[in-house]
Amino acid sequence: AHIDVCGINLSGQSLTNEEFFEFLRDAMRQLGPRASRICFEITETAAIANIGAAENFIRELRALGCKFSLDDFGSGLSSFGYLKQLPVDHLKIDGVFIRDLLSDPVDYALVRAINEVGKTLGKTTIAEFVENDQIRAKLAELGVDCVQGYGVGRPRPLREILSTAAD
């Protein structure tokens, strides 16, 4: 299997650690154009808690080609206003809203609203915790761009993916 994008979760502490930032910046420079295959995921809570640091971190690494996802959106401090300030590429809708999407009208309305705002801001929307075809179909109906979860595929070790790609 060819890997188009490798998602890497970052902790809140990573955003304010200058030594770690320098390490990443050097590593992404060495990757050159291949850095565009790296997508760093930062939780909404971590990004908002360190908004200035997160904004600088994202801008500098995006300039080197990296992409960014705002992970677990909607479950933390949740302000749509922060979406205008953070230059992320993707908006990951927290699975807590996806889980009961088919039976809970409030979850449905929240997913629809998050998706619409994300689209208006030019973000790719990703739904987490997609467990079955019915949820996937409802998300497609809403216009969500991407899905992840056990209903799509189980997580696999990277070395397993790479070994099957070599075959």
Two structure tokens written together for 160: 């397993």
CA 89, 90, 94 angle in degrees (round to 5)?
A: 155
Q: How many distinct helices (H) and strands (E) make up the chain?
A: 8, 6
pTM of this prediction exceeds 0.95: no
Residue range 84-109: average pLDDT? 93
Most confident by average pLDDT, 76-80, 83-87, 157-161: 83-87
Share of the chain above pLDDT 90, in %: 65
Give the integer Cα–Cα distance in Å for 125 and 43: 15
Which region holds residue 143: left if phi is over 0, alpha if psi is between -120 and 50, else beta? left
